[in-house]
Structure 1
Amino acid sequence: MQSKKSSGAKPAQRVIKKYPNRRLYDTDTSTYITLAEVKQLVMDSESFVVRDAKTNEDLTRSILLQIILEEEAGGAPMFTEAALANIIRFYGHAMQGFMGSYLEKNVQAFMDIQTKLGEQSKGLTPEMWAQFINMQSPMMQGMMGNYVEQSKNMFTQMQEQMQKQTEQMLGAFGLKK
């Protein structure tokens, strides 16, 4: 499947329409697709949007959450009950916006590490992989150290941003720290 190109260099975003009967229609291929096929688009890093066929409302997040729900129910969940409960606690909290950004950046940093590992591991035999894992190589430790450092820096930035906003808000009310 090739993506359509728009007038610019950026490929056009694939549009999937969701009908009231819960069926998903891929306008790129002119076929109905399953949730598993939408998951494959995600896995292939395809750019797409899911829209309600009647209202044109963007349903992409809802479909992605549905995929996560199915994966979580599939027997090998990624999130513990405690992790899910903690995420729920951030909804409506003053930190909600910061938490979403923090999680997004951390997941991206982790994906970047995974990509680097994948690139560096091409051509390794299973025996070499076992040796690599057992050694807990300095490279692996360095990459995980970089991830932890990046995560710490993001958290520090988030704290500094919150402090600035608090000071601005207090200043607006004539209260100084």
Structure 2
Amino acid sequence: MPEEFAVPEKKAAAKPAQRVIKKYPNRRLYDTDTSTYITLAEVKQLVMASQPIVVRDAKTGDDLTRSILLQIILEEEAGGAPMFSEAVLANIIRFYGHAMQGFMGSYLEKNIQTFTDVQARLAEQTQGMTPEMWKQFLGGQGLIGGYAEQSRAMLTQMQEQLQKQTEQMLGAFGIKR
């Protein structure tokens, strides 16, 4: 069969390739996809567009992605409409070095992912809603109620894991509850 009449093969949904940004000693960021220097604001735009990125030190190849993302958050927080209160930031700092540090990171990650999923579904489902539908939607059985329940369940799971680990640790010392 001629190529122009061939049925295209169905390809698996390919995960977008990670965009590599190189950071040079002069603090400039170089986008290897576009072969241009970019600003931190442009890196933020890539993140906002859900473009997977990795930032690497141009000399050593070290992964600097977390550092750049934290720098973007710091600039956003200083920009006048902070997301985190001083109390929240202080509590996050207190978890470093604490036995719950590992749990807190995964708890926050899961909670933010759930919130993001809820937000996306909310945008889909609220087009053309009446005030009565909004009442039902925001009630205990709606999407927001489901998010709150899922968040509560994750916290309970985290507490149970901590309790099991504590009992195991005490058991190792011969102490029973």
TM-score w.r.t. structure 1 length?
0.85
Partner of residue 50 from structure 1, selected from 37, 55, 58: 55
Q: Which whole-Å CA distance do the structure 2 matches of 1:10 and 1:119 have between them?
A: 23
1:117 to 1:9, Cα distance in 2 relative to 1, 3 A: closer
Instruction: Give the corresponding residue for 2:148.
Output: 148
Number of paired residues? 163
Instruction: Give the corresponding residue for 2:114.
Output: 109
Cα distance, 1:13 vs structure 2 = 1.3
Q: Superposition pairs for residues 113-132 of structure 1, below 5 Å? A: 113-122=118-127, 124=128, 132=131
- Give 1:137's aligned amino acid: K
Instruction: Please say if 1:60 is aligned against 2:65.
Output: yes
**Structure 2 unaligned runs (5+)?**
1-12
Q: Which whole-Å CA distance do the structure 2 matches of 1:146 and 1:96 have between them?
A: 26
> Which stretch shows the higher mean deviation, 163-172 or 25-34?
163-172
Cα distance, 1:10 vs structure 2 = 3.1
1:82 to 1:135, Cα distance in 2 relative to 1, 3 A: farther
CA deviation profile, 1:2-32 (whole Å, cap 9, x unmatched): xxxxxx9433211111000000011111111
**Structure 1 unaligned runs (5+)?**
1-7
Identity of counterpart residues, as a percentage?
A: 77
Instruction: Please say if 1:166 is aligned against 2:166.
Output: yes
Based on CA coordinates, which of the two structures has the bigger radius of gyration?
2
Q: Which whole-Å CA distance do the structure 2 matches of 1:147 and 1:111 have between them?
A: 10
Aligned CA RMSD, in angstroms, stands at: 1.9
Cα distance, 1:110 vs structure 2 = 1.1
TM-score w.r.t. structure 2 length?
0.85
Q: Superposition pairs for residues 74-113 of structure 1, below 5 Å? A: 74-113=79-118
Contact 2:31 2:38 in 1 (8 A): yes
Q: Which whole-Å CA distance do the structure 2 matches of 1:11 and 1:144 have between them?
A: 30
CA deviation profile, 1:64-104 (whole Å, cap 9, x unmatched): 01000111111111111111111111111111111111111
CA deviation profile, 1:28-65 (whole Å, cap 9, x unmatched): 11111111111011111111100111111111011001
Contact 2:16 2:51 in 1 (8 A): no
